[in-house]
């Protein structure tokens, strides 16, 4: 048990914030964790299930006296939430976030950080398709990456302390710049989510034709798509609106490769297909060797699944 902060304030109480609370409690990482969410319903639920040591009815009250404030709301809401809390932040405290897109958050939040307050953006690469205050669990971040995205002028002690928190929450921590982060995540998470949404949308159209056979005979590949496509609509709308360029860049490449595969199928170019699938299989092996997934049947998935949004 190593305390890293005296008081952590979590603004927004969904999957990520609730998992942070349970993991912080498991590790004894904070003297106190204070929570706030905009809706009374979420605050009531949090109180009912014992989420956070204290729930406040305003964001201003929640951040008062906290030495770390973590913004755990959708990316598109970060700027407005920051405007609400800025006048109430303690001098010497650190503001961080968990947003899936970094450039946009830095632009929206950075200019509002008061003098004497540190800003260290972060992004835990862990999640599930579930959302809300009941969806969190202490193990969510175990052996997952958390990327810190400090600016050039970020205080090294504030960065080191946030790193210690995320390591205590179970993560492996790396530092990355915002541009690179947004491109890497467009490849590994944002474009795949869009493709899953599309595939499920196509199947839904088909379903009307085939009278529910798509659901009845749903096989593993499609079932995985449906799980990803069940992810929170607000969160993912914001991801695409705020990581526009990198996502469009990757989707452009995706479309070109898809056309090439389409041509190979039409012309019966088996060598092209075989070479392509051999290359992609090696990538899967690399992910397993890096400890980021398992070779177990059904990808080792039990009741809980973990993605990297
Ligand atoms: P979530 O479970 O949907 O919870 C979102 C929270 O934000 C709720 O407490 C909600 O309040 C609040 N909120 C929503 N819209 C808001 C607004 N316009 N203004 C103020 N508060 C608002 O979300 P989450 O999955 O924890 O995601 C939170 C952040 O983590 C997002 O930025 C997301 O990109 C990032 N992230 C998500 C994942 C993932 O897999 N889910 C993984 C890594 C990072 P109410 O409950 O009162 O409506």
- Give residue 144's domain range: 5-176
Lowest mean pLDDT among 25-34, 122-131, 221-230, 256-265: 221-230
d(CA 59, CA 36): 6
Å from CA of 235 to ligand 1 middle: 6
CB 121 within 8 A of CB 105: yes
Q: State if residue 98 touches ligand 1 by the CB under 6 angstroms criterion.
A: yes
Q: Tell me, what's the pLDDT at 196?
A: 92
d(CA 14, CA 16): 6
Phi/psi of residue 30, each to 5°? -140, 145
Let me know whether 48 and 162 are in one domain: yes
Average pLDDT estimate for 237-242: 97
Is the per-residue pLDDT at 179 higher than 80?
yes
Å from CA of 266 to ligand 1 middle: 44
Å from CA of 191 to ligand 1 middle: 20
Kindly give, in sequence order, each residue whose CB lies less than 8 Å from that of residue 134, ignoring residues fewer than 6 positions away: 18, 45, 49
Q: What is the pLDDT of residues 121-158, one digit of tens each?
A: 999 999 999 999 999 999 999 999 999 999 988 999 99
d(CA 107, CA 109): 6
Let me know whether 145 and 69 are in one domain: yes
Q: State if residue 40 touches ligand 1 by the CB under 6 angstroms criterion.
A: no
Give the end of a domain, one of 176, 192, 211. 176
Higher-pLDDT residue of 284, 214:
284
Give the end of a domain, one of 247, 267, 287. 267
Let me know whether 27 and 128 are in one domain: yes
Q: Tell me, what's the pLDDT at 208?
A: 67
Is the per-residue pLDDT at 237 higher than 90?
yes
In-domain check, residue 278: no
Largest CA distance in the chain: 67
Average pLDDT estimate for 1-24: 96
Q: State if residue 35 touches ligand 1 by the CB under 6 angstroms criterion.
A: no
- The domain tally of the chain equals 2
The SS3 of residue 145 is strand
Å from CA of 18 to ligand 1 middle: 10
Q: State if residue 165 touches ligand 1 by the CB under 6 angstroms criterion.
A: no
Let me know whether 136 and 81 are in one domain: yes
d(CA 299, CA 284): 11
Q: What is the pLDDT of residues 189-226, one digit of tens each?
A: 999 999 999 988 888 777 666 666 777 777 777 888 88
Average pLDDT estimate for 49-58: 98
**Mean pLDDT, the chain, whole residue set:** 92
CB count within 10 Å of CB 112 equals 18
In-domain check, residue 27: yes
Average pLDDT estimate for 253-278: 96
Average pLDDT estimate for 159-183: 98
Let me know whether 163 and 259 are in one domain: no
The H or E element that residue 84 is part of is helix 78-85
Q: Tell me, what's the pLDDT at 309?
A: 52
Atom of ligand 1 nearest to the CA of 101: 34
CB 307 within 8 A of CB 287: no
Phi/psi of residue 253, each to 5°? -65, -40
Å from CA of 35 to ligand 1 middle: 13
Q: Which of 63, 74, 129 for mutating ligand 1's site (highest number of atoms within 8 Å of CB)? A: 74
Q: State if residue 63 touches ligand 1 by the CB under 6 angstroms criterion.
A: no
Q: Tell me, what's the pLDDT at 215?
A: 72
187: which DSSP letter?
I
Å from CA of 172 to ligand 1 middle: 22
């Amino acid at each position: 048990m190593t305390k890293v902060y005296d008081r952590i304030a979590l603004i927004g109480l969904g999957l990520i914030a609730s998992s942070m609370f349970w993991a912080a409690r498991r590790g004894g990482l904070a003297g106190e964790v204070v929570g706030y969410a905009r809706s009374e319903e979420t605050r009531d639920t949090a109180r009912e299930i014992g989420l956070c040591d204290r729930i406040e009815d305003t964001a201003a009250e929640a951040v008062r006296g906290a030495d770390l404030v973590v913004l755990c709301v959708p990316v598109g809401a970060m700027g407005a939430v920051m405007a609400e809390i800025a006048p109430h932040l303690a001098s010497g405290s650190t503001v961080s976030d968990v947003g899936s897109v970094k450039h946009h958050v830095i632009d929206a939040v950075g200019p509002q950080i008061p003098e004497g307050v540190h800003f260290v953006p972060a992004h835990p690469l862990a999640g599930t398709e579930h959302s809300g205050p009941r969806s969190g669990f202490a193990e969510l971040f175990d052996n997952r990456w958390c990327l810190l995205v400090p600016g050039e002028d970020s205080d090294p002690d504030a960065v080191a302390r946030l790193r210690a928190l995320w390591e205590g929450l179970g993560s492996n921590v790396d530092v990355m710049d915002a541009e690179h982060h947004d491109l890497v995540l467009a490849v590994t998470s944002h474009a795949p989510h869009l493709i899953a949404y599309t595939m499920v949308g196509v199947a839904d159209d088909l379903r009307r034709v085939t009278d529910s056979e798509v659901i009845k005979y749903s096989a593993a590949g499609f079932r995985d798509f449906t799980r990803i496509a069940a992810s929170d609509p607000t969160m993912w709308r914001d991801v695409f609106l705020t990581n526009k360029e990198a996502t469009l860049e990757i989707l452009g490449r995706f479309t070109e490769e898809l056309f090439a595969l389409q041509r190979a199928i039409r012309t019966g170019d088996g060598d092209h297909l075989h070479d392509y699938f051999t290359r992609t299989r090696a990538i899967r092996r690399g992910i397993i060797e890096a400890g980021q997934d398992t070779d177990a049947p059904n990808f080792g998935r039990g009741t809980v699944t973990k993605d990297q949004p």
